[in-house]
Structure 1
Amino acid sequence: MKMTDTLFGHTNDEPVMEYTLVNDSGMSVSCLNYSCTITKILVPDRCGNIENVVLGFDQFFDYLDLSPYFGCVVGRAAGRIRNAEFTLDGESCQLTANEEPNHLHGGKKGFHSVIWKSEPIETESAVGLKFFYRSKDGEEGYPGNLDTTIIYLLNNQNELSITYEARTDQKTIVNLTNHSYFNLSGNLKRDCSEHVLQLDGDRFLELDSDLIPTGRLLEAANTPFDFKHGRLLKSGMKSSHPQNVLAGNGYDHHLVFSKKGENTVVLTDKESGRTLLMTTDQPCVVLYTANHLEGLYSISGVRARNYLGVCLETQGLPIDFNQPHFPATLLNPDEVYRSTTTYRFFSKTIGV
């Protein structure tokens, strides 16, 4: 196993480095110190062809100008916060309304738009990187100085783990995730409509017209949101279910796992034979099928279009202090926020 690094660009006169982790099986993961962005994951298909299975740009300026959060860590709080404000201990916290009138994925200067300090990690069984960023008190409106560490580790079982840790000096809110867009066809040969998703979840969160959860937990059984036995993603893209239509003819929803503790998500592309087995300790995953990706730009030589990738954003339930049955992601000074999500890639179909 090894790690290499190259200069990828500059922002505000700071160098943006691309690090590439390679295991003994030939799998590699490339990422930036800018937003901890995962730019490439190269894995074999059933015939041994090694290809990229995430969406990313070849030039750094495209990440600045065009990226819909490709591959980055988002925070302090993933998702949308209604009217860009919340109340904490009786006081209103006004956040940046970067998606008027709401707050999205941490704001304009969220974790997705800053340089992180980085250092290499090498053990007997893995190679990786440790990223660190201090979000200062008041940044984007959030209270407290928040020290966040993100650890990427790649092992010889074709397994990439992402561990999130955060500490604060004031009570605050934290809800972190990685926003990679997966496409298991390899090098964007096809869209994700024929991908099959399987997970054990019996409920999903209803969205309003701003794509913010209303607080209602809806039953998934007998709807396009039931993935217990595996479901083609195109079934939601072509669905007349009001929630699929509202999201732009697809998915942009919190799928809530049926049980607490570690849960598993399986994504499969039968044509390539690739399978992603994802495990997480988070209570839900936001499934987004890139319903609004279409644009006048290219992604590694492929014209941007809807459904070209699928996001599996593991995270806590959405931060909404108006919904008392949602356990808000509060972090106190004497606590540590910690979560881990692991992505394991196979060159054969499993679990479906």
Structure 2
Amino acid sequence: MKLERNPFGITSDGKAVDSITMENANGIRCTFITYGASLTSFRMPDRSGHIDELTLGFDDLASYEGNHPYYGATVGRFANRIAKGNFSIDGIGYKIDINEPPNHLHGGKEGFSRKIWEMFPIRREKEAGATFTLTSEDGDAGFPGTVDVSLTVLLTEGNELIFSYTAVSDKPTPINLTNHSYWNLAGSCSGPIYDHILTLHSDAFLEPDEKLIPTGRKINVANTPFDFRSPKAIGRDIEAAGGYDHCFILSHEHALSIPAAEVKDEKSGRSMTVLTINPGVQFYTGNMLSGQRTRDGIAAPHSAFCLETQEFPDAMNHDNFPMAILRPGERYERKTMYLFSVE
């Protein structure tokens, strides 16, 4: 395994940001930066050996400091949406940042995706990566409790990209961490992802309202555009679905041995398998990508997809959802693995 740490740039307020790059013997090469603990690049050969960039991102820090749709970021303290930025814990009400009016999204205006994390490189014989750490103070974005967060990312010689999250808190607080990478297995900005074949092991999804907040209803995918239980082209029913930005309830919760999703691009031969212990995955087809600049060109709607493994959005406001509250003395632990292959 190859591992290389380099300076990535200086923020507008004078703070240093570093990058770390891992490369295995199969030609897979990925880079993370300490700004947002973000995956900035993932490069991989196709069946003919041609190497492409597979994610949306930038080569410069200034672009990550600017406005962008969370390219490759670690998002938190709570990923996805919280209705009107309101929730209660033990009878105490809290009001948090509203950054997607009228709701809270992905940790707020200055969430984990816009913080500089500490980084500690890891290099072993068959895997390499880093542990990123962050302390989120009591009151950060309005959330209660001081939270110590750790993310370990590893690339292995078995073509696995592993994300392991932990957190502890001194007060009860919501917690929901995920990675927000945008993927196109044919190559970044190479066109729409309509021909990608997706299998999603989910029997139901959370019904969203017009602002993408869960209504509380769990809808069976049978006989709907949301049925990916058998392999199906992403583009086949995308118009009928109005684009995908939905939290799917995983059929095999808390089972790293059983795939949550599989995606394949027939042209390149590349495939990705997602395994996780989270209860849900947000499948997003970049519906709101419209003219956003990236290193490889302009991102258009449906030019990339996200599979964000996570807790249920707005979980604190729904008694029938798994509770996403971390309490003192408890330890939040989540793990997601992306396995890549070529046929």
Instruction: Using structure 2 for the length normalisation, give the TM-score.
Output: 0.96
1:255 aligns with 2:248: yes
Displacement, 1:301?
Answer: 3.4
Q: Distance in 1 between matches of 2:48 and 2:189?
A: 17
> C-alpha deviations, 1:160-203, integer Å up to 9, x for none?
10000000111111011100001000243222111111021100
Q: What is the RMSD of the two structures over their aligned residues, measured on CA atoms?
A: 1.2
Counterparts of 1:238-317 in structure 2, within 5 Å, are 238-239=239-240, 244=241, 249-262=242-255, 263-264=258-259, 265-295=261-291, 297-317=292-312
For residues 27-76 of structure 1, what are the alpha-carbon distances to aligned partners after superposition, in whole Å with 9 as ceiling and x for unaligned?
A: 11101000111011111111111111111112221112232000000001
Note the C-alpha offset of 1:91: 0.8
- Given that 1:276 and 1:343 are in contact with CA atoms closer than 8 Å, whether structure 2 keeps it comes out as yes
CA distance in 2, matches of 1:330, 1:321: 8
1:124 Cα deviation from its structure 2 partner: 2.6
The aligned amino acid for 2:310 is: Q
In 2, are the aligned partners of 1:254 and 1:285 still within 8 Å (CA)?
yes
Aligned to 2:32: 31
CA distance in 2, matches of 1:187, 1:97: 31
The counterpart of 1:341, out of the listed 322, 326, 336, is 336
Q: Distance in 1 between matches of 2:293 and 2:150?
A: 32
* TM-score when normalising by structure 1: 0.94
Q: Which shifted more, 57-66 or 84-93?
A: 57-66
Q: Cα distance, 1:26 vs. partner?
A: 1.7
1:155 equivalent in alignment to 2:156: yes
Task: Give the secondary-structure state (helix, strand or coil) at the position aligned to 1:308.
Answer: coil
Work out the CA distance in 1 between the residues paired with 2:210 and 2:293: 29
Q: Any idea what SS the aligned residue of 2:204 has?
A: strand
Work out the CA distance in 2 between the residues paired with 1:299 and 1:260. Answer: 34
Contact 1:319 1:329 in 2 (8 A): no
Given that 2:163 and 2:337 are in contact with CA atoms closer than 8 Å, whether structure 1 keeps it comes out as yes
Partner of 1:20: 21
Give the equivalent residue in structure 1 for 2:227.
Answer: 226
> Is 2:316–2:325's contact at 8 Å kept on the other side of the alignment?
no
Specify the code of the residue in structure 1 equivalent to 2:217: R
1:256 alignment partner AA: I
- Is the Cα contact below 8 Å between 2:95 and 2:142 reproduced in 1? yes
Distance 1:33 1:59 in 2: 13
Moved more, 131-140 or 22-31: 22-31
Q: Which residue of 2 aligns with 1:324?
A: 319
Partner Cα distance (2:174, 2:317) in 1: 15
SS in 1 for 2:152: strand
**SS of alignment partner, residue 43 of structure 2:** strand
Identity %: 39
Deviation at 1:258, TM superposition (A): 1.7
Secondary structure of the 2:63 match is helix
CA distance in 2, matches of 1:59, 1:119: 22
Mapped to 2, the partners of 1:72 and 1:26 lie a distance apart of 23
